[in-house]
Amino acid sequence: MKKIQIVKGMKYRATAFFAVLLLGAALLAGCGKKQEQPAETETPGQSSSVSASEQAEANETGSLTHEEESLKVQNDGQHSFLTGEKMDPGEVNRRPLAVMLNNIIEGTPQTGISQASIIYEAPVEGRITRLMGIFENYQDMDRIGYIRSSRDYFVYCALEFDAIYAHFGQATPYVGELLNSDRVDNISGAVAGIDHPAASTFLRTSKRKAPHNVYVDIKGLQKDIDKFGYSQTYHDTHKPKFAFAPDGQKPNSSGQKALLLYPGGKEKDQPNGFSKVQAYFEYNEKDGKYYRYQYGGPHIDESTGEQLSYDNVIFQYCYGEVRDANDYLAFGCHGDNNMKVQVFTQGKMTEGTWSRYADTDPAYYVDKNGDPIQLSQGKTWICLIWDEYADDVVIE
């Protein structure tokens, strides 16, 4: 695996925002904001590598796509892009909302988190994790909390879904230029470095102490979306990410059993991020879901009091680096580098690789034959695993 230089002051242009690696496959450098940012790594590609000039153009225009993989992942206009479930055709093309969620113990339990179709979890400085929920039909909700600041690698993940992106907190280190660019439909609090803050979206509750008490008020959010003129339907560049099993069927999975998943291992206070929050998932054969645990007990939604559960769990391995003395991190979110992925559904694991070429592309998950890995219809939790700590992962 070859390392790629981390570019500070993230720009979206290939000259400054991305570092181009000229040894086989080119990578974008992106992931990590304020405290963390994504670094790109490259593992020699096989037959699908792109040239440096092609990748540079993709960075600039978003025009380069892995056409072979994108053609294999389709949506018929009657199923959710996020869950694969049947959906009113009039709602299918509504853009989702990506929200940064606090996961330090003082910021838990979160409220409204169970209504997210997808959760991303990744390490941040201090070696705990932060979450990003991706919500569709969020207009029917009252509030989502509790909100914290951005990291650029989460922004790049949000772009996979063409999502409107909401966060609150000091947001400029490593990610300011990206957030203020026309690449991101940004909903941010009024903090230094944000060109167009959202005036109505964020409120505080008196039931918690700052900074762990900020939530998104959905009515206020809608006012800001309208004020900024953000599209609420998918752009033409949007592509489906997941391959779901057909209605009434289970995924084609013949992998090994996977009933207990520990993204940070079983030992506490290891530096991989997940260990300090004691994160793990346990499969329930009765309902076919993985139940989430952290901080020594069930991970619940404050608004319902119920434990979070998911139909799919994904461990997406990424190259990572420490950016500076403050332990700001960087993770590789793009690349034709055949990085490892493990997909867990129906109590079984399918191993494969992932690749992603441009911000307007999703990261595609394929098996050893190059075919998209099928998911169960329903909700998905994705852990970005720092590849340096891959050996900490425990699967039973």
The average pLDDT across 167-185 equals 89
Retrieve residue 300's tokens: 């619940």
For residue 394, give both structure tokens. Answer: 């425990």
Q: Is the pLDDT of residue 56 over 60?
A: no
Report d(CA 241, CA 238) in Å as an integer: 9
8 A C-beta contact, residue 143 and residue 121: no
pTM value is 0.85
CA atoms in the 13 A half-sphere facing the CB of 359: 29
Tell me how far apart the alpha carbons of residues 259 and 153 are, in angstroms, rounded to a whole number.
29
Total residue length of the chain: 396
Q: Say if residue 170's pLDDT is above 80.
A: no
- The rounded distance, in Å, linking the Cα atoms of 63 and 108 is 40
Residue type, 59: N
Residue 318 buriedness (CB in 10 A; 0-12 / 13-18 / 19+) = buried
Chain centre to alpha carbon of residue 20: 23
What percentage of the chain has pLDDT greater than the value 70? 82
Averaged pLDDT, 130-137? 97
Spatial distance between the Cα atoms of 60 and 133, rounded to a whole number of angstroms: 27
What number of other Cβ atoms are within 10 A of residue 331's Cβ? 31
What confidence score (pLDDT) does residue 273 get?
96
Residues 99 and 104: their CA atoms lie apart, in Å, by 16
Amino acid 57 reads: E
Q: How far apart are CA 341 and CA 352, in angstroms?
A: 5
How much is the pLDDT for 67? Answer: 64
Residue 341 DSSP symbol: E
Query: pLDDT: is 201 or 40 the higher one?
Result: 201
My answer on whether omega of the bond before 109 falls inside 30° of 0, hence cis, is yes
Looking at per-residue pLDDT, the higher value among 88 and 337 belongs to: 88
pLDDT digits (tens, 9 = 90+) for 346-365: 999 999 999 998 888 999 99
